[in-house]
Amino acid sequence: MGIDDSVSAYARGGGLDLVGKRLSRLAESYKVPFEFHAAGISASEIQLEDLGVQPGEALAVNFAFMLHHMPDESVSIQNHRDRLLRVVKSLSPKVVTLVEQESNTNTAPFCPRFAETFSYYSAVFDSIDVALPREHKERINVEQHCLAREIVNIIACEGVERVERTELLSKWKSRFIMAGFSPYPLSSIINATIKTLLQSYSEKYTLEERNGALYLGWKNQALVASCAWKSNQ
């Protein structure tokens, strides 16, 4: 099952329909029975009944660049960010994966937030240069509909209008632990495979495993952090 709101789908140039088609083709190539159900709702609105979890099935949850769009305690007394983690914990998933930007723009005042954004996205644009030429259609689409929108929202918006509220992995770890999760060990085989793939693009891409998490970076700057969690019984 996939969850995505219409605004985020538009910003990426496609939503759950694209995800469903790609996963269906992958499952078909391996002759694996597969069903995909899409829920076009905001993550802040998710309730247990929206998830359609069947009794006895193994559940895996993937939070990929999603949680930082949800308001936390600094924006709303409802704190949807931590609420969703508690909802997922109540389902006793086998594994929960988190992938988020390694950047701190959530509660930072304007000046530090501006400096953080400039440093972070400068590295992002540099890293794109080695992967795609500037006139490439896909690159132009990403820069216009994703990166530009993110930068404007971080710099120009405040309060509930600012939805790009990234946090460092140390903060995400605190949230997961408070919700009742514990770290899940990473696979050294997968780590090595990802590192080999990155180096095929450029040696300036870095992949570091630190304190049970993977950090994808450009030169000396970490850009994306990922880790896995399991539900404490």
Q: How far is CA 157 from the centre of its chain?
A: 21
Q: How far apart are CA 227 and CA 47, in angstroms?
A: 24
* pLDDT tens string 119-135: 999 999 999 888 888 88
Any idea of the CA torsion for 76, 82, 86, 87, to the nearest 10 degrees?
60
Residues contacting 156, CB < 8 A, separation 6+: none
Tokens matching residue 9: 């789908």
* pLDDT tens string 68-97: 998 899 998 889 999 999 999 988 999 999
For the chain, the domains span 42-231
Segment among 40-44, 153-157, 174-178 with least mean pLDDT: 40-44
Rounded to the nearest 5 degrees, what angle is found at the Cα of 117, between the Cα atoms of 112 and 118? 100
pLDDT of residue 45: 76
| Mean of pLDDT values over 33-57 | 76
User: How many other CB atoms sit within 10 Å of the CB of residue 69?
Assistant: 19
User: How many other CB atoms sit within 10 Å of the CB of residue 16?
Assistant: 18
* pLDDT tens string 163-181: 999 999 999 999 999 999 9
Q: How far apart are CA 233 and CA 225, in angstroms?
A: 26
Q: Is 42-231 CATH 3.40.50?
A: yes
Segment among 73-77, 187-191, 214-218 with least mean pLDDT: 187-191
CA distances (Å), origin 68, targets 54, 65, 143: 28, 7, 19
Amino acid at 189: I
Closest of 1, 188, 4, 209 to residue 93, by C-alpha? 1
Segment among 17-26, 37-46, 165-174, 194-203 with least mean pLDDT: 37-46
Q: How far apart are CA 218 and CA 126, in angstroms?
A: 8
Query: Which pTM does this prediction carry?
Result: 0.86
Direct distance between the N- and C-terminal alpha carbons of the chain, in angstroms, rounded to an integer: 24
Q: How far apart are CA 10 and CA 7, in angstroms?
A: 5
Q: Mean pLDDT of all residues in the chain?
A: 87
* pLDDT tens string 4-28: 765 554 444 456 777 788 888 998 9
Q: Provide the percentage of residues in the chain whose pLDDT is more than 70.
A: 94
